[in-house]
Structure 1
Amino acid sequence: MRRAQKILLVGGVALIVAVNAFVLAGVAWNRSGAPASVLTLAQRELSLPYAFGLDGERGGIDVALLWRAPMRDDNAEAAYDMHYGRGPDWLDADKLRELGFDLKDGRDAYRARREVYVVLELAGASWQAALAQAQRRLDRALARGSTDKQDADALKSAQEAMKYEQHKASRLFAVDAGLDAAALRQRYPELRSHAIVAATVTPSVTVIEGKTLFSGHIGELSVARISVPHALRGAMEGIDRTALDTGRAAFDMDVSWGRRFEPWITAVRPRRPAPAG
């Protein structure tokens, strides 16, 4: 009996060692060679853990990527686009077919799901379009004036939306998708403004007045959270969430993606609160 327990123990340890070796080999392969993408992201694209700054020792720190889909025209009056991960207009029926979805089943198509490559664009044309949309909304509110409470509230909301878009909203947008990562990289060659990531896409089916309309929804990225390396965690010391939330402090992180389209953090640069004056 004792011998059997020893065999099981040795086998269990060997399995753990083998799994860890496999994981480490995958990490090493992903990070070997030149990075596929390198983006410098700020706190507006990286969400800190909810308890950050509350636990004395901090422990491990993971950040979550905050990305957006381009705002739809029907959302023009919204204060800002909170729909991170919502299906963009470019992910239409033609694009879904290009991604390999069979839409012949109509309403049953929503049951399908497929992992594809998605292009994330940093501070590019989609963000500029979001800024322009917020400006148009503010211009309309200014033109109406604030003679009554409803107009005054609309003006205040538009002003807050503009400020949010300029300083707090994520500048990282999903702008395209495909099955061939190399083809996408040829289409978007800028390594420091376009990252290619793996994510799931699910068709969405809507029937309006007897007409079936298809659109796509981008789900979770295959790797949506990134661990801050232990050697870089010291750079986060002294930063509290209150300072980040109010804009009195900020940070930048260099995030690289490798051969397996998995991200890792290579640098952390905090910006401390400006001294009161």
Structure 2
Amino acid sequence: MSKPEAKKLLLLAVITVLGVNAFILGKVWLNRSVVVAELTLSERELDVPYHWGMAKEDSSLRLNIAWTTPWLTPNEDDWQYLSRQQQRILRLQQPQFASFRFGSCTDGYQRQQRSGWVLLEFNGQSYQDYLKQAEQHYAVIQQRLAAEAAAELNTGLAQDRLQAAAKRRQEQQQRAEEQWRVAREEATRLFVIDAAADRNLLQQTLAKHSGPTAGQLLLVPADIQLSYTWCQDDKAEKQPEVLINRLAVQSLYVAKPYAQRLPIDTDRQQKIRFQAQVYYGRFAEPWIANLALASGAVSD
């Protein structure tokens, strides 16, 4: 290759890199030129990576957005899973479900993924319903353990068996108390409450939500998949359901000045407490506008 040709290729590469960077920076600027929503999230909704800051060669930080979907009718067996808030199944109204134009179940639900929109609710009715479910679960556990203790006293069991049963109940009591505490103090308050391929359908849902329990609502893009329960071969009547695979933006970059405010996580038993001002822009893409430690920032 001659030197002129090499110079042309180098110049083309430089122009390409500059063009791509200009496009990305231009999109970021356009997105941030209009703030459509502002949320004050905390460590409950933004996960600090495990052992943050321990790798000296990497000082970058991204916070994963923690969210869930409402659980309709949980029972006691479901609660162990529900308490971890890893629910991704969402029941939809027929128009929203139809908007995705899912294919036949013979194609397999795994390949039935569509780009669409979801309605996020922060600290609203869905979280209040979750708290009520947690409180009811806690009350049921207390009643059951009390009934078991009373029944065992009348059975004439040997002392060692009574002690073993009492220890088991104490462990269940502690587990129930921890789940109830986590629901009140640590569980995410960010819920996906609706989804559609057509953004206008969610605008209609958004317009119906108002009042003191509505919380903060916003529309964001997401990847939505046909629920595996929809294709189950049974005779039960099925409700339209989808699986929310992921939000289009699932993690937030933390600028170095903000990241330095978070203490190094040397002990995973401690919880870093902070508040982050999160803005959503013109293209429904979020960014962290400010981050500060909360009072009592690191607690056991």
TM-score of Structure 1 vs Structure 2, range by shorter chain: 0.7 to 0.9
How far residue 94 of structure 1 moved from its aligned partner, in angstroms, is 5.2
Per the alignment, residue 246 of structure 1 pairs with: 270
Worse-matched range after superposition: 43-52 or 210-219 = 210-219
After superposition, residues 85-124 of structure 1 pair within 5 angstroms as 86-88=88-90, 90-91=91-92, 95-97=96-98, 99-102=99-102, 105-108=104-107, 110=109, 111-124=111-124
Letter in 2 for 1:125: Q
Per the alignment, residue 207 of structure 2 pairs with: 186
Summarize deviations over 1:136-184 as a string: whole Å, max 9, x none. Answer: 1111111123523554443332211101111111111111123226545
Per the alignment, residue 176 of structure 1 pairs with: 194
Query: Does structure 1 residue 207 correspond to structure 2 residue 235?
Result: no
Letter in 2 for 1:220: R
* SS of residue matched to 1:235: coil
Misfit runs of 4+, over 6 Å: 189-192
Number of aligned residues: 269
How far residue 231 of structure 1 moved from its aligned partner, in angstroms, is 3.9
Greater Rg, structure 1 or structure 2?
A: 2
Query: Does structure 1 residue 143 correspond to structure 2 residue 143?
Result: yes
After superposition, the Cα gap between the structure-2 partners of 1:258 and 1:244, relative to the gap in structure 1 and judged at 3 Å, is farther
* SS of residue matched to 2:232: strand
Per the alignment, residue 165 of structure 1 pairs with: 183
Summarize deviations over 1:103-126 as a string: whole Å, max 9, x none. Answer: 5x2443623221111111111111
* SS of residue matched to 2:287: strand
How far residue 211 of structure 1 moved from its aligned partner, in angstroms, is 4.5
Structure 1 contact 93–215 (Cα < 8 Å) conserved: no
Residue identity (%): 25
Identify unmatched segments of 5+ residues in structure 2: 150-164
Per the alignment, residue 233 of structure 1 pairs with: 259
- Higher RCO (Cα < 8 Å, 6 or more apart): 2
Letter in 2 for 1:193: Q
Which residue of 268, 278, 284 corresponds with 1:261?
Answer: 284
Structure 2 contact 51–265 (Cα < 8 Å) conserved: no
Letter in 2 for 1:134: A
* SS of residue matched to 1:60: coil
Letter in 1 for 2:247: L
After superposition, the Cα gap between the structure-2 partners of 1:7 and 1:85, relative to the gap in structure 1 and judged at 3 Å, is farther
How far residue 192 of structure 1 moved from its aligned partner, in angstroms, is 7.3
How far residue 188 of structure 1 moved from its aligned partner, in angstroms, is 4.9
Query: TM-score, normalised to structure 1's length?
Result: 0.85
Letter in 1 for 2:277: D
